[in-house]
Amino acid sequence: MALRAVDIHGKKYNRSLFVCVILIATFAGMLMGTSLGTALPTLMTDFHIDLATAQEATTWFLMANGIMIPVSAYLSTKFPTKWLYIAAFALLLIGQYISYSAPTTNWHLFLIGRVIQAIAVGITMPLMQVVIVYIFPAEKRGAAMGLGGLVIGMAPAIGPTLSGWILNSDHSFFGFTLTNSWRSIFLLPMFVIGIDFILSFFILHDVIPNENIKLDWRSLVQSTLGFGLFLLGLTNVANSHYDGWFDLPHVVLPGVVGIFFIITFIWHQLEMNKPFLDVRVFKIKQFSITTLLTSLSMMVLMGIEMMIPTYLQEVRGLSPLSSGLTLLPGALIMGLMSPISGAIYDRAGAKRLARVGFMILTMATLPFLFIGLTTPTDFITVFYSLRMFGIAMVMMPLTASAMSALPQDKAADGTAANNTSRQIASAIIVSLLSSVTQNIANTQGPAASLKTANIFEYSRKTLDAMLSGFHVSFAITLLLALLGLIVASFLHAGKVINQSDDLLENKEGI
């Protein structure tokens, strides 16, 4: 593969440097999605807020990111690739700085920064995948998507470890000190994004063909209200101030209204000659199945990813650093295996990898149903690492297969649809498991009077109730892994090569 390539203007550029810049920047942006998980106790103390409020740092990020992803198809078609990236990097820097500098008396300013960060990541993440489709030939795309797995999979996995390490003590780099404060969690990504922002002017090029399409405001409003309200309802489920899944004004109403706008959005897209987001891509069987499997794999990933750090800190009493180090080997394994699985996909296709990967996920999730108060951390590390190995075998090959099932000019629409589905799946599983765990802990927990009568018995029963909640959450995750194993059998055998536009048109009558 030659290092030199040509952009849409006929100018030569270095493809390896191009990919390196966008991978590093997107990785730094996606770290923000999970890196604050281990910092929640610190945020609660500094901002004088409860756990439900502190969790908004993650839930609002997921919500804003989910709203933005459907817009990415329009943006990547309308605006030059280089300047879209530059704008997104600048937006990410602004958002990170707002959260970093927010006074502890203004939690809402902190959240505004988080929303701006999520908007930027909602542009860079799907744009990265579209760029890979355009700059790599089909026979090399699996390996390139494997490198993308370092971003989409490893960044959320390594986030808790990195933040735990930062919160453990002060660290110095080139004479610059990172203090053990939640603010320092933003500094390292800001430094990386700042460098990439400067390099973007010299290394990035316009590689996606542009069209002077008009913004369909009706579609934008329907998309924003639909996905925004639906995800808002989901994120409110875990809020301790509300009544769970049946809270009418905060969960049910926004969820139902959101679904209504999503349906009207889809209907409107099907009526348009040039849709805002071409949902017809779901008429291609291979794309639909791989998108479903990618969403399931994300749910299986997040199902353990969000629960284990909480178990390690709240039940086992580990420090943020210790809980992060327990999960670090799994993150490293995923980072190592993602490009390898992408290369295997180029030779064998996605079906075999998906079946083996979901089988590993199923077997490695089962032991988590039996963890207790004295389960060795090495036990958790081993089976968590096996799960991440399975995720690496599934995630990027499925993404590459989904993109290869589409005509190249539908790459932006396919990427937006694929990522939106995955983001909604992540929000659903985080809300579901948080709600289930908290509800079981509340209903099976001891009476408040026991706390004064027998503090030791009260503590034991509280931990037992929390464990019961975790066990049910892990059981749900196991069922999702089994479902993925079943659905994987419907995948196309072998590798999928880009289909022609005629295929998409023929499928439209189905």
Confidence (pLDDT) at 412: 75
Domain match, 48 and 133 both = yes
| Token pair recorded at residue 31 | 């770290």
Confidence (pLDDT) at 101: 92
Confidence (pLDDT) at 278: 83
Domain match, 395 and 426 both = yes
What is the C-alpha to C-alpha distance for residues 225 and 212, in angstroms, rounded to an integer? 25
CA atoms within 13 A on the CB side of 41: 12
Domain that holds residue 172: 4-213+282-507
What is the mean predicted confidence (pLDDT) over 152-172? 71
Confidence (pLDDT) at 398: 86
Q: What is the pLDDT of residues 385-394, one digit of tens each?
A: 999 999 988 8
What is the mean predicted confidence (pLDDT) over 360-364? 95
The H or E element that residue 14 is part of is: strand 12-14
273 vs 146, higher pLDDT: 273
Confidence (pLDDT) at 501: 40
Distances (CA, A) of 476 to 71, 243, 305, 387, 432: 32, 21, 14, 15, 9
pLDDT band, very low/low/confident/very high, at 378 (cuts 50, 70, 90): very high
pLDDT band, very low/low/confident/very high, at 416 (cuts 50, 70, 90): confident
Q: Is the pLDDT of residue 207 over 60?
A: yes
Residues 324 and 164: beta-carbon distance below 8 Å: yes
Confidence (pLDDT) at 496: 58
* 74-106: b (≥16 Cβ within 10 Å) or e: bbbbebbbbebbbebbebbbebbbbbbebeeee
Domain match, 54 and 175 both = yes
Q: Is the pLDDT of residue 176 over 70?
A: no
Distances (CA, A) of 458 to 41, 399, 444, 504: 22, 48, 12, 62
Single-letter code of the amino acid located at 296: L
Considering only CA atoms, which of 322, 366, 360 is closest in space to residue 341?
Answer: 360
Domain match, 382 and 470 both = yes
What is the mean predicted confidence (pLDDT) over 316-325? 79
Q: How many separate domains does the chain show?
A: 2
Domain match, 429 and 489 both = yes
Where residue 314 sits, what CATH number does that domain have? Answer: 1.20.1250.20
The H or E element that residue 286 is part of is: helix 285-305
Q: What is the pLDDT of residues 461-490, one digit of tens each?
A: 888 888 898 899 899 999 999 999 999 988
What is the mean predicted confidence (pLDDT) over 5-27? 89
Percentage of the chain lying above the pLDDT 70 cut: 89
Residues 304 and 331: beta-carbon distance below 8 Å: no
Taking CB atoms within 8 Å and a gap of at least 24, the contacts of 247-255 are: 254/229, 254/230, 255/229, 255/230
Residues 205 and 13: beta-carbon distance below 8 Å: yes
The top-scoring range by mean pLDDT among 7-11, 322-326, 396-400, 410-414 is: 7-11
Domain match, 303 and 228 both = no
pLDDT band, very low/low/confident/very high, at 424 (cuts 50, 70, 90): confident
441 vs 198, higher pLDDT: 198
Residue 447 within any structural domain of the chain: yes
pTM (2 d.p.): 0.76
Number of helical (H) and strand (E) elements in the chain, helices listed first: 20, 4
Distances (CA, A) of 304 to 71, 161, 178, 355, 359: 29, 15, 29, 20, 16
